[in-house]
Amino acid sequence: MIDRSPGQTSPARLTGWGRIAPTVAELARPCRPDQVPALLRGAPPRGAIARGLGRSYNNAAQNDGGLVIQTTRMNGIIALDPRAGLVTCEAGVSLEQLMIAALPDGWFVPVSPGTRQVTVGGAIAADVHGKNHHKAGSFAQHVPWLELLLPGGEVRQVSSVSDPELFWATAGGMGLTGVILRAQVRLTKVETSRVSVDTVRTANLDDAMAYLEATDDTFGYTVAWMDCLATGASLGRSVITSGEFATLDQLAPADRREPLAFRPIARIGAPAAFPPGLLNRHTVALANEVWYRKAPRRRVGEIQTIGTFFHPLDGIRNWNRVYGPAGFLQYQYAVPAGQDATVRRSVEMISAARAPSFITVLKRFGPGSPGYLSFPIEGWTLALDFPARTPGLAGLLSRLDELVAEAGGRVYLAKDSRLSPEMLAAMYPRLEEFRQVRKQLDPAGLLASDLSRRLRL
């Protein structure tokens, strides 16, 4: 991309990670937080929205015909206190950058999604969760304060103590309360940069859920990969990987010399083009079979790198292209604890529809945060990736919406591409409070995204 002065913008065709709904916006790429207020003041009538690394799956960080302020050049780490494990940084700093900076002193990010290519601003705005949600909660719960540029132009330091309403509207608020300029993040102490991982293969969904429930207290990090196309007695068969950061004495002698080493691997690129339809119910069923069979029935204490355990997909740059030009969509729901029958019903529906999700992940959430639109609630979450052109997908997902809403659950906005405003209201009981905060902060509706327009956020 050509270098421009920070105030300049140029038209850009933007999508989310799923590459399904491109729109054109004026794109600005400021280098410093103090350049953002002027950009916001000069926003066109369609308003403005912040964008980080564009890893939300659909159009939360797009603004058709408006302004998009990409923060990735505002990527300075301002201070890192190695004793307290507190880092202060600009909002465009990525989680990978934080890992590179903090691991040598024995600190890791408090919460990591399945990719480390997300910004601190994006992690707060979606209040992201990781494999440790059942123990550590979501990202914003580890943010002592953030600095927010409000739609009116004021820059305010906001904490959950000084300004709880604004803080919790911003955490999970999908960029609609202001532009986060800087933030402080409380890191997690680790003795090494490796993870001791137990792997268990379960014969079906019931066994997977029972194992996850029984081991809640045992592991800091857990997730189940599920074969969503398995049927009958094998319905929901899974491979569960659970881990803890390894202690020094768990490492092989050669690794003990550099116990905190972290070298994000040189990432290989996916080919520029894949044939349409490469991923379909036949190829995904085959891949699932191979993946499931290759997993050990039970393996204990395997030492893995951060990349292998937390971010396996980051090893392949632009892996999203494997879905072909039509792209793909993610569907992730959460339902309250005790809704095991709903999870089972949803897996039956997906399996019966032969809807080929390449990556299907089941996890237990701990208690949710006070974020008005934060996604996690205590209970179960299931995430699925479907090729956008899967036959019958729209109907299946609408039926899943109804099932989830009836169970008191919700769909994750950072991944959503198709929810209706009515369904959103049924799923997020604090939506009206969020809208009230927005109305007070931004009566003219300066902040807007393709997502916010569709959902009337």
Ligand X SMILES: Cc1cc2nc3c(=O)[nH]c(=O)nc-3n(C[C@H](O)[C@H](O)[C@H](O)COP(=O)(O)OP(=O)(O)OC[C@H]3O[C@@H](n4cnc5c(N)ncnc54)[C@H](O)[C@@H]3O)c2cc1C
Which residues bind to ligand X, rule: CB under 6 A?
17, 49-56, 60-61, 71, 91, 113-115, 118-119, 121-123, 125-126, 128-130, 174-175, 179-180, 313, 414, 449
Pairing, β 316-317 against β 328-336: unpaired
Least CB distance to ligand X at residue 297 (A): 26
By C-beta, is 251 or 380 nearer to ligand X? 380
Least Å distance between CB 150 and ligand X?
11
Nearer to ligand X, 16 or 106 (CB): 16
In the complex with ligand X, the residue whose CB is nearer, 223 or 353, is 223
The distance of closest approach from Cβ of residue 129 to ligand X in the complex, given in angstroms and rounded to an integer, is 5
Contacts of 407 (CB under 8 A, 6+ apart): 335, 336, 339, 342
**Shortest CB 234 distance to ligand X, Å:** 26
Q: Cβ neighbours of residue 346 under 8 Å, at least 6 residues apart?
A: 333, 382, 400, 403, 404
Residue-wise DSSP of 27-72: EE--SSGGGHHHHHHT--TT-EEEESSS-SSSSTT--TTSEEEE-T
Backbone angles phi, psi at 423, to 5 degrees: -65, -40
Task: Output 315 or 336, the one with its CB closest to ligand X.
Answer: 315
Alpha helices in 295-392 (DSSP H): 306-310, 340-352
Task: Tell me whether residue 55 or residue 410 sits nearer to ligand X (CB atom).
Answer: 55
Q: How far is the CB of 231 from ligand X (least distance, A)?
A: 27
Residue among 72 and 250 whose Cβ is closer to ligand X: 72
- Distance of alpha carbon 96 from alpha carbon 104, whole angstroms: 13
- What is the smallest separation between the CB atom of 359 and ligand X, expressed in angstroms? 8
E strand or H helix at 120: helix 120-125
Buried/exposed code over 417-450 (b: 16+ C-beta within 10 A; e: otherwise): bbbeeebbebbbeebeebbebbeebbeeebbbbb
Opening angle at CA 122, ends 328 and 427, nearest 5: 65
Structural contact between residues 339 and 409, judged by C-beta atoms closer than 8 angstroms: yes
Identify which of residues 300 and 313 has a Cβ nearer to ligand X in the complex: 313
Name the strand (E) or helix (H) holding 197: strand 194-202
What is the C-alpha to C-alpha distance for residues 181 and 91, in angstroms, rounded to an integer?
5
Q: Least separation, in Å, of the C-beta of 94 and ligand X?
A: 7
| Least gap, CB of 414 to ligand X (angstroms) | 4
Tokens representing 355 are: 């809807």
In terms of CB distance, is 178 or 236 closer to ligand X?
178
